[in-house]
Amino acid sequence: MTKRIVLALAGLLVLVLAAAWTLRGEIALRAMARLMDRNLAAAPGDGLPDGLHVVLCGSGSPMPDPGRAGPCTAVIAGKRLFVFDAGSGSVRNLTLMGLPPARVEGVFLTHFHSDHIDGLGELMLQHWAGGAATSPLPVHGPPGVETVVGGLMTAYGPDRGYRIAHHGEAVVPPSGFGGEARPFAAGPAPVVLVDEPDLKIRAFSVDHSPVSPAVGYIIDYRGRRAVISGDTRIAASVEQAARGADLLVHEALSERLVGLQKAAAERAGRANLSKIFTDIQGYHADPEAVAALAARAQVRYLLLTHIVPPLPVRALEGPFLGDSRRIFDGPVRVGRDGDMISLPAGSRDIRYTHSPR
């Protein structure tokens, strides 16, 4: 008897699977329509508690890593969306994560290494054409940001012409094309860039020499604080800025693992790469040293990003971190694209989720 029931159920299962296989195109079409509705209706902060939410739209570096686009950190403050750096692939991630580029209120650049601006042209284009923007995207950065924004607008000039001619000025208003550079000068003491009752954004200089200027950012929203290091070696200014912060998003390069890359380059007779692998160790920060900084600054959560070298399998996270989890007794996460840390207003909660949710 039992055997017959099992056989009948197995037969039914085969029939259901066969029907699903036959109708797979139709099922996929319906799922796609639902996804389109969801994406077009998506607004920053949807489904999230009021608070500060930090999302890694790009947790990688110039080196290709399947789980990590170029450097990009999105910050949702209440219902508002800001982006810190726009590396290669990160703008597509924003859309996939339900954070429409058209809704980005402002971009904040940490410095002008190409991996941090590779996606900026795409972001300015999506902001304009995706949202019928009537004013350019504000792009804040240290001096030099005018050159970056102006250069990209020149490069996108022909594209601007095609789109206006094709879609019309009502759809792509000429006044909304591109970005508006907003340069500021920052020293180790933070300078205020946005000062509103609920939201404050400040910048401070970091130490990425010989690359200069280079800055990090402090974001305060309704009593919660996140600090973004930008690219830097271990710096007193970061430690100062991070003091008591709910979240520190810090760059990380494992000297041990980059040492393996350097040895491989030498074995392969690639002297140029060997020199690069030596040089980069001097202006980034090793995870254990970052953990020690986080402990000294008494931050509550440490999120590592700008992960160098690429970590294609999670088993490498242990060797990447070394003793970090012993040095810093709060949570330490090796960032991946889609990681979101939520800091709800009016609480001390720190919640981790992964986007798309």
Q: Which residues bind Zn ion (CB under 5 A)?
A: 113, 115, 231
Of 65, 115, 118, 246, which one is the catalytic site residue?
Answer: 115
Query: Coil, strand, or helix at residue 301?
Result: coil
309 preceded by cis ω (within 30°)? yes
Q: Is 47 left (phi over 0), alpha (psi -120 to 50) or beta?
A: left
Looking at beta carbons only, is 129 or 304 nearer to Zn ion?
304
Q: And the tokens for 243?
A: 């003091």
Q: How far is the CB of 31 from Zn ion (least distance, A)?
A: 37
- Quickly tell me which residue has 């907003």 as its tokens: 182
Q: How far is the CB of 245 from Zn ion (least distance, A)?
A: 21
Strands of 191-195's sheet, edge to edge? 191-195, 199-205, 215-221, 224-228, 247-253, 302-308, 332-334
Residues 6+ apart with CB under 8 A from 58: 68, 69, 70, 71, 72, 73, 85, 86, 87, 88, 89, 90, 93, 119, 337
The answer to whether 115 is a known catalytic residue is yes
The C-alpha angle 331, 219, 134, rounded to 5 degrees, equals 130
Catalytic residues, by residue number, are: 115
